[in-house]
Amino acid sequence: MTELDAYLDVILAKYAGSFDIQKDYLFENRTYPAYGSFSSLGEKYVLIKKAKLWSVKAFEYIFFTDADTCTKELLDDIRRIMTDYMEPVLVRKNEKYPEKDHMYSYLTFAVLCRRRPSEDVIREIRRFSFDKGYLFSIRGHAEGHLVVADMETESVFTNSAGRELKKLYKKTFDDVRRGARGYKELYA
């Protein structure tokens, strides 16, 4: 098992506790090593369920991909997938707006690289953004998160929306070194 494969195996085990994981996910004639989806429903009632005060739905969709290194072309492809597929199909279900009570959808791409990206690409990763509101945010918003983990220097780069993922991905390098159990061992 290569270092990249071991890293993916451990990070998938971390996500599998709350995400539905599909390995070898086929999209647009390309197979991604994994895809994950998460949904949450929060509701507040007064005494009985019929007296609902509010309800909110939250979602996250994550594509895992690997590359020799992250390039500007790969970032352009990720933006296209978020814009042309993830947002209209996964968030809006090909409708004009997301479903009622939609609060947010995070569209996440995790890129696992064998080599460190160039400084120009690292700047592009940090500047990467995708954000779309619906009905002046009455129907919530969709936000693009990008995280790039570099196996060569064990560095993690994120865009500003994905910065909370940095700690998780950085810690995964330590977990791989200490032999943490991975997805195959825990969920296969």
Contacts of 116 (CB under 8 A, 6+ apart): 69, 150, 152, 153, 155
- Which residues span the domain enclosing 133? 3-187
* Local confidence pLDDT in tens for the 188 residues of the chain: 679 999 999 999 999 999 999 999 998 788 999 999 999 977 666 766 666 665 688 999 999 999 999 999 999 999 999 999 999 999 999 999 898 888 899 999 999 999 999 999 999 999 999 999 988 878 889 999 999 999 999 999 999 999 999 999 999 999 999 999 999 999 87
The whole-number pLDDT of residue 136 equals 80
H helices present in the chain, as ranges: 3-16, 72-81, 119-127, 166-177, 183-187
Per-residue confidence (pLDDT) for residue 45, from 0 to 100: 67
Count of domains for the chain:
1
pLDDT for res 107: 97
